[in-house]
Structure 1
Amino acid sequence: MSSINTVQSLNTEKTFVSPEYIRNRFSKTMSDMYKNEVPLYGELLDLVQEINNNVISESKEIKEQLERTGEITRLNMERHGAIRLGKPYELFTMRRLFKVMGMFPLGYYDLASAGVPVHSTAFRAIENTALNQAPFRIFTSLLRLDLIDDDKLRTNIETILENRQIFTIKALELIDKSEKENGLNKEDADTFVKEALETFRWHETATVDHEMYEALVGQHRLIADVVAFKGPHINHLTPRTLDIDKVQSSMEARNITPKDIIEGPPTRKCPILLRQTSFKALTEKVTFKGKTGTEKTGEHKARFGEIEQRGVALTKKGQDLYNELLDKTRKTIGGSPNAENALKYNQLLKENFKKFPDTYQELQSEELAYFHYFTTDKIKNLSKDKTHTKSDVNQLLKDGYLTTEPMVYEDFLPVSAAGIFASNLGTDDAEREYEETSNQLLFEKHLGESVFKLTTWYENTQNKTIEKCLAQINA
């Protein structure tokens, strides 16, 4: 896709930049901002790029896999961020803002069941080509006010949130313009990126006094992070590594203290889903609200550095097996892993996951994971006596007319996200249980549209590659 699109509107030619152009600009500008705000993040990027370059130079198999799926060009610019919003208007408008960048809501995540009083979606591109051109995601959470059990505090929170506006006037104007005209020109796009970035910037001054802040922390540290500030400062920007174990073991040498546990599945020959680690959240100075001359200085923890390794996406069958093995491991150690039980947890996890096949051939044949399908040179020798259909795919694969590459998991894991939150906020809140959990219908009402169902997205993406292969075979 070209970075410039020309469209006709009311018989007047208008030249618009593509959503990929805007998304790349936004991702790069945000990364520069975060590097300036959190210098350790820049050190993390250097470490990840060094390890990625080493993996690619040492593994011909991984290099060829990334080249065939189109991921190799995006690897070192890949980022995912996370924000936490306070009220429905913010979620509704954030959806509109991300749509300007060609990002749409995929998946519903219930973090309340993992002890975090939010529910979430992830905004990203939905076409493979667009993903490879600008692989930027934002995991976006909305505070669940209905889970706050203190009526007076909940009312105070509603008032605090009602009185804030996290979007600039100019950003809102450009969102309106993009919706009305179906795009933005380069000048407007560059202005949009600059204005949109203000929503994600860190503010050292809180919007509440210290007493209110402590009351918010008493409910949940994440609630304080959502409510006590002018906007949803980006709390991490995550690069993608090809060897997270190497990153974990190399962080200390760069004076980066990693969390104790890598979240997600254990080390495998064929990585699945998502593995994540991070350096611990910064302790940052904050000035709390007060009468002039009576402001109080305190501390707040929220922003950290996260790293992820992405593996193959799992089918529902594969996801169910993953959940079963992860739950079994956690129940054995009595809950979430921590520094005290890290060694035992990792040993148990590795042992339990022996049940999960660890070759791509088994993952494909047992329908545990999703794959991209490609034809081989052998198809020119294939008989044209019959029209091949989807039911022939496994035989065509067995006979060498087709080959596969793993489809990377583009999304998130709620249990892992909760584990990252808990370890970085220095709290045991992830052990908390909420009586009310999933409420996808309410979330989608606040969002203003339905989220894309993840399994459907992966199935459709896999089917497109199969259909392309059959078209080539039957031509």
Structure 2
Amino acid sequence: MQTNALVDPDDIRGLFSRALSGMYKAEVPQYGDLLDLVADINAQVLREREGLADRLREAGQLDRLDVERHGAIRLGTVGELAVMRRLFAVMGMRAVGYYNLSVAGVPVHATAFRPVDESSLQRNPFRVFTSLLRLDLIDDAALRERAAQILAGRNIFTPRCLELIGRAERDGGLSGPLAQEFVAQALETFRWHSEATVDIETYRQLRASHPLIADVVSFKGPHINHLTPRVLDIDRAQAAMLEKGIRAKDAIEGPPKRRFPILLRQTSFIALEEPIRFQGAEGVDGTHTARFGEIEQRGCALTPKGRALYDELLNAALAAGSDAVSKASALAQAFEAFPDDARALRRKQLAYFRYSVDRGHADQPGPVSANANIEALLDQGLVRAEPLVYEDFLPVSAAGIFRSNLGSEGAAHYAAGGNRAAFEAALGVRVMDEFALYEAAQAASLEQCRRELADLVATASS
């Protein structure tokens, strides 16, 4: 066995996501309850919905369902973000999308680190929603300076982790033993610390500005604040949490329930109140809420046209509803204007699909035109269309989850807009365009269909 062989980044990502899940399960036992609940619901749905397991398997979605997770961390400085990009690159994860959450009352902007290749997504679609605190949104100049000083004095990465990142960049990857060591060292960045790095008065001042600011600034590192399994029926999951006595948030974030799921729907159990030891002459005991458990249901990725319609309808619904019941009613009513079947979504170019040749039909005798309109090929049964899974996030939904787990102080208003240029300068690269990734995946599947059908035509005429 070659111990010096480089480990595939997909495998390192798998090792890390499993290790992170195990650590979070030990730290937050209720997360383990959530995993069991999701596994039971997924098994029930697969039994009840005829053909669903086969469709998921053919689309490369079934095997990844049990391992699929997304996590979230909050960083404090541009230097932390730059190194975090390099850390995730070792695992084959790239920065995709720019999210400005200040418009929803949360003083951060963010990106999602995730795999981008189709084969990598099928093996393990681990994602980490990574936010960067915007100190410029702290109105109190003295507090802003104090927060900057505190953050400047910490190092969230172990020295060995930094060495291994540099080794991977120099050698093009890591060998087996080094990959294992890298996972162990990287895990330390995401670990929970029950001792604050500030005194309780500073913590209270930061929290009064915004709870998320206190969460980022007051601790040794960016503890993972949630991990999210993927469920096939989130409405059933929401009801199951309540039935089991788990304190779930009052409403599901994202689009309303539909026959044809789109984008992303999320819910969570409310953040735990955890004991914290604050700095001081003799130390002061207190509590902090930050970590929670989330569940998500992923639907079809939307085109820019589809996303524009989604945003328009969502904004109309948010303006119409105030409490959870009226919001749900307004959301359902608003989204009656969004087509709810695959054919309409394709014809109106609102969503992305992956196309494949149905060999069972294409191999049968009959006229086949490789240049036929895609809808004609679908109607003939020569080609199948499966929705391209939405692999990314929704800023309004993310902010809604954040606010529901930050306490009553979590509401704020910020006049400043996004600053993508500053974020990308801190990151060290431009974020990838999620729409371009979906467009390329759809186009590649269509081109593959054309080639296969052309081969069938050539074979039939020879």
Amino acid at match of 1:457: L
Counterpart for residue 161 of structure 1: 151
For the Cα contact (< 8 Å) 1:83–1:141, is it kept in 2? yes
Amino acid at match of 1:301: T
Number of aligned residue pairs: give it.
453
Match of 2:231 among 241, 255, 259: 241
Q: Deviations over 1:391-414 (max 9, x none)?
A: x32332233321101111001000
1:405 aligns with 2:383: no
1:63 aligns with 2:63: no
Amino acid at match of 2:268: S
For the Cα contact (< 8 Å) 1:273–1:409, is it kept in 2? yes
Please state how far the C-alpha of 1:383 moved relative to its aligned partner.
4.4
Q: Deviations over 1:299-324 (max 9, x none)?
A: 10000000000001111111111111
Amino acid at match of 2:296: E
Match of 2:22 among 32, 35, 50: 32
CA distance in 2, matches of 1:69, 1:147: 44
Q: Which SS does the other structure have where 1:469 is aligned?
A: helix
Counterpart for residue 104 of structure 1: 94
Please state how far the C-alpha of 1:64 moved relative to its aligned partner.
2.4
Counterpart for residue 8 of structure 2: 18
RMSD over aligned CA atoms reads 1.5
Please state how far the C-alpha of 1:422 moved relative to its aligned partner.
0.7
For the Cα contact (< 8 Å) 2:264–2:299, is it kept in 1? yes
1:221-236 correspondence to structure 2 within 5 Å: 221-236=211-226
Q: Which SS does the other structure have where 1:55 is aligned?
A: helix
CA distance in 2, matches of 1:67, 1:213: 49
Q: Deviations over 1:68-89 (max 9, x none)?
A: 2101001011100000000000
1:21-420 correspondence to structure 2 within 5 Å: 21-291=11-281, 294-334=282-322, 341-377=323-359, 378-380=361-363, 381=365, 383=367, 388=371, 392-420=373-401
Counterpart for residue 425 of structure 1: 406
After TM superposition, the score normalised by the length of structure 1 is: 0.93
199-208 or 434-443: which moved more? Answer: 434-443
CA distance in 2, matches of 1:435, 1:172: 37
Q: Deviations over 1:344-376 (max 9, x none)?
A: 211221121111111111111111110010112
Counterpart for residue 450 of structure 2: 470
CA distance in 2, matches of 1:123, 1:58: 34
Match of 1:446 among 426, 432, 437: 426
Q: Which SS does the other structure have where 1:155 is aligned?
A: helix
Amino acid at match of 2:352: Y
CA distance in 2, matches of 1:323, 1:396: 32
In structure 1, list runs of 5 or more residues that go unmatched.
7-12, 335-340
93-102 or 401-410: which moved more? Answer: 401-410
Q: Which SS does the other structure have where 1:15 is aligned?
A: coil
Counterpart for residue 459 of structure 2: none
CA distance in 2, matches of 1:234, 1:323: 29
Counterpart for residue 458 of structure 1: 438
CA distance in 2, matches of 1:210, 1:436: 29
For the Cα contact (< 8 Å) 2:234–2:266, is it kept in 1? yes
For the Cα contact (< 8 Å) 1:221–1:427, is it kept in 2? no
CA distance in 2, matches of 1:455, 1:256: 36
Q: Which SS does the other structure have where 2:310 is aligned?
A: helix
Q: Deviations over 1:182-236 (max 9, x none)?
A: 0101100000000000000000000000010001001100000000000000000
After TM superposition, the score normalised by the length of structure 2 is: 0.95
Counterpart for residue 458 of structure 2: none
CA distance in 2, matches of 1:333, 1:136: 34
Q: Deviations over 1:16-55 (max 9, x none)?
A: 1111111111111111110110000000000000000111
Please state how far the C-alpha of 1:387 moved relative to its aligned partner.
5.8
CA distance in 2, matches of 1:323, 1:387: 37
CA distance in 2, matches of 1:42, 1:276: 18
In structure 2, list runs of 5 or more residues that go unmatched.
456-462
148-157 or 301-310: which moved more? Answer: 148-157
For the Cα contact (< 8 Å) 1:105–1:123, is it kept in 2? yes
CA distance in 2, matches of 1:110, 1:186: 38
For the Cα contact (< 8 Å) 2:210–2:409, is it kept in 1? no
Identity across the alignment (%): 51
CA distance in 2, matches of 1:382, 1:172: 61
For the Cα contact (< 8 Å) 2:211–2:409, is it kept in 1? no
For the Cα contact (< 8 Å) 1:98–1:104, is it kept in 2? yes
